[in-house]
Amino acid sequence: MVAHQDDDILFMNPDLANAITARLPVTTVYLTAGEGYAKPSPEPDIPAPTCRPGYKLDREQYSACRNDGARAAYALMLGFPDATSADWRTEALTVNGPNGLRRQVEFSRAERDGRVVNLIFVNLPEWADKHADTKADPADPTGNAASLFHLWQDNSRRVTVLPAGSPVRTRQSYDREDLINLLIGLCQRFRPTVVRVQDPEPDLRHGAADRLHDHRDHVSGARLAILAMRRLPDTQRVQVITYRGYNIQHGPVNLDAGQQRDKDEQFAAYAHFDQQITNTAGYRGWPQRLYHRYWGGTNWVARTASGRLQAFAVHSGGLRTWWQDGGSGWLGPRDLGDPGGPLAPAVAVARDADGRLRVFALRLDTFQVVCLTQQRPDGDWPRRWANLGNPHGKSRRARQIGQPVVASAADGGFQVFTQNGDGGLSTRTVDGWQDLGGGPGVQDGLAAITDSRGRIEVFALAVETGSGVLKRWHQSESGAAFRLDPDFPGLEPAGPPTVARSADGTLDVVYRLAGEHAGKIGHTWQTGTGEWIGKPEILDGHGGVGPVAAASAPHPRHGIAETPSPRITLCATNRDGGVSATRQSAPDLGYLDWTDLGGLVVHQPAIAVDPGGRTHLFAVSGDGKLVHRSQIEPGGDAPYTGWTRLG
């Protein structure tokens, strides 16, 4: 669900192209007509446009050209030899929604070799359209422009544009509830399991305040879509993925050369029909990058007090869980609800000194860190969420904090960490929130671990003057104050770091690489004396973006049986949207080549080790289901089963 006809291509690919290649049906909803500053046509029957630079286009013609551009880009993603060879079926589609809603939208569908794409054009006026006919009521006191913003903010009623040649012949009117109900009705008709939206809370470090630090249509459309997903029935929960917009050009390049080439070709197919595309830094830079607003984490599986594995995921803003049944089977999913508002996708799960699991998350309506705790070890989950607050109280900066991570503290409890609204690091202890500095470039997606001497180490990606750097905070002894390491060695990162322990207890930090090494993984590790290696290493990789999942080498000191050849295991999403994995070549040494495990997943995978020493891989598949594979026996050389669905 996006605002304009190029937003999906620029900000959500290659994720969409990968889903199409995997033969998952893809439906894209364009909320606005994308008509820009063009003037309404004076003609009652608008002639078909010539979609080329130099031709003067009316509002309805320019919108039709952008719709044609969207169809052209998806034709390439479907595998047609060129953008014009797809056989699109376009018609007026009547959509029924809650509360008796009934509206018509422009609908296009194309298929090829089992791949299916549906495009839905709602055609509400876009931000730049300042003409009086955008409003249903001339007495409406809100401004003519920024229709989506006024729908969201003021519940204004707006009237759609009719692109030239549209099969919809009557302008439709919407207020906020109408649009939300339309999106619900579309979900009930097309039954998505994954919904992709734009950035609902852009980074205040970039962009103009009067445009909500991105584009008012992007932000307002995302907020409306997320609210609609919250209202879906319990039987139709979805994975919601949010994508950053204009500000990705300020981050490191994180797509590999092949992904950039494909994205450039897809955007060029669109741009052929859009006469307002210009050769600016944004249009050059956006196809080189893909960044989620809220990354899915990698710490969403843990061992219960009895050693059984339990996984957690967020669907439609609420928490779900799956767990081992004591044998080789799994139970779930079970809904654990929410704290009264939607949760961000990354949850951090840990077991406390009493053996109870705790789930830490970010609440997205109040921007508070919250925690859900088992009633007793291996017990039930009462739906009583603890509110841990926010480093900034109720100030505007509170909306900018990141998702929490946790580490075991010296007193046996947990210490919570988050990227704060000033772009630094904050921690929550029993004494409240404390600012640990390191700003202003710290990004969401932290890694925290307690070392063999009880000291906590925290790692982060920061973006400073357009380049990625690794940051490290550490303690001199257990329970001591945190210090920022000014000289932590690392290659330029393009994604959040992850940290794991080798068999000898030393730490290894892994992270995606930027620029010419985009698509590869780097790592920085401790030597046997505890010093950090001065020359980090490239582990190659299979492409992809986002955090890398890591499991520490199994060891009895962590409640795991003695395991033959214990090694760190890594897995990560790859350029095709599946999962690739590797492990150390031997205990405490470097890594083997990556293995492509296939599949198509959303967010990031997770890894856990059971009490017997077997390693388990988890992911949420492209159809929204939890999938799993495990070693057939303990040991660093043991192979894995295939992917199986859980619940």
Mean pLDDT of 517-535: 96
Decide if 264 contacts 370 (C-beta within 8 A): no
Report the C-alpha gap between 221 and 37 in whole angstroms. Answer: 19
What tokens appear for 373 in the block? 């705790």
Topology classification of domain 494-647:
Neuraminidase (2.120.10)
Decide if 609 contacts 554 (C-beta within 8 A): yes
Mean pLDDT of 606-627: 95
Residue 361's beta-bridge partner residues? 370
- The residue assigned the tokens 């839905």 is 120
Res 85 pLDDT > 90: no
Res 578 pLDDT > 80: yes
DSSP per-residue letters across 257-312:
HHHHHHHHHHHHHHHTT-TT----HHHHHGGG---BSS---S--EEE-TTS-EEEE
Q: What is the pLDDT of residue 330?
A: 94
Q: What is the pLDDT of residue 429?
A: 83
Res 301 pLDDT > 90: yes
Distance set, CA 344 to CA 46, 317, 326, 401, 526 (Å):
45, 7, 30, 11, 32
For residue 391, the 8-state DSSP code is T
Lowest mean pLDDT among 41-55, 168-182, 271-285, 389-403: 41-55
Report whether the peptide linkage leading into residue 200 is cis, meaning its omega lies within 30 degrees of zero: no
Residue 121 class from Cβ within 10 Å (0-12 exposed, 13-18 middle, 19+ buried)? buried
Decide if 331 contacts 323 (C-beta within 8 A): yes
Alpha helices (H) in 101-193, listed in sequence order: 147-154, 176-190
How many C-beta atoms lie closer than 10 Å to residue 170's C-beta?
9
Report the C-alpha gap between 359 and 348 in whole angstroms. Answer: 6
Q: Taking the CA of residue 179 as centre, how many other CA atoms within 13 Å lie in the half-sphere pointing to its CB?
A: 35
pLDDT tens per residue, range 630-641: 999 999 999 999
Q: List Cβ neighbours of 164 (8 Å cut-off, separation of 6 or more).
A: 41, 46, 47, 48, 49, 58, 60, 61, 63, 64
pLDDT tens per residue, range 137-195: 999 999 999 999 999 999 999 999 999 999 999 999 999 999 999 999 999 999 999 99
Q: What is the pLDDT of residue 353?
A: 92
Res 647 pLDDT > 90: no
Rounded to the nearest 10°, the torsion over CA 277, 104, 20, 541 is 60
Res 421 pLDDT > 80: yes
Q: What is the pLDDT of residue 376?
A: 97
- H or E element, residue 194: strand 194-198
Report the C-alpha gap between 173 and 102 in whole angstroms. Answer: 11
DSSP helix/strand/coil, 42: coil
pLDDT tens per residue, range 213-235: 999 999 999 999 999 999 999 88
User: Would you place residue 355 in the very low, low, confident or very high pLDDT band (cuts 50, 70, 90)?
Assistant: very high
Distance set, CA 85 to CA 10, 19, 88 (Å):
22, 21, 9
Domain ranges of the chain: 7-288, 494-647
Res 328 pLDDT > 80: no
Report the C-alpha gap between 51 and 54 in whole angstroms. Answer: 9
Residue 443's beta-bridge partner residues? none
DSSP helix/strand/coil, 214: coil
Res 122 pLDDT > 90: yes
pLDDT tens per residue, range 451-480: 999 999 999 999 998 899 999 999 999 999
How many C-beta atoms lie closer than 10 Å to residue 637's C-beta?
11
Which strands form 89-96's sheet, in the order they lie side by side? 26-32, 115-124, 102-112, 89-96
Decide if 535 contacts 489 (C-beta within 8 A): yes
What tokens appear for 283 in the block? 């249009």
Q: What is the pLDDT of residue 84?
A: 80
Res 212 pLDDT > 90: no
Arithmetic mean of pLDDT over the chain: 95
User: What amino acid occupies position 295?
Assistant: W
pLDDT tens per residue, range 240-298: 999 999 999 999 999 999 999 999 999 999 999 999 999 999 999 999 999 999 999 99
The string over 136-161, giving b where at least 16 C-beta atoms fall within 10 Å of a residue's C-beta and e elsewhere, is eeeebebebbbbbbbbbeeebbbbbb
Angle (CA) 211-216-217 rounded to 5° is 155
Res 1 pLDDT > 80: yes
Q: List Cβ neighbours of 277 (8 Å cut-off, separation of 6 or more).
A: 271, 283
Among residues 569, 553, 555, 566, which one has the least CA distance to residue 606? 569
Share of the chain above pLDDT 90, in %: 91
Residue 419's beta-bridge partner residues? 425
Report the C-alpha gap between 430 and 415 in whole angstroms. Answer: 9
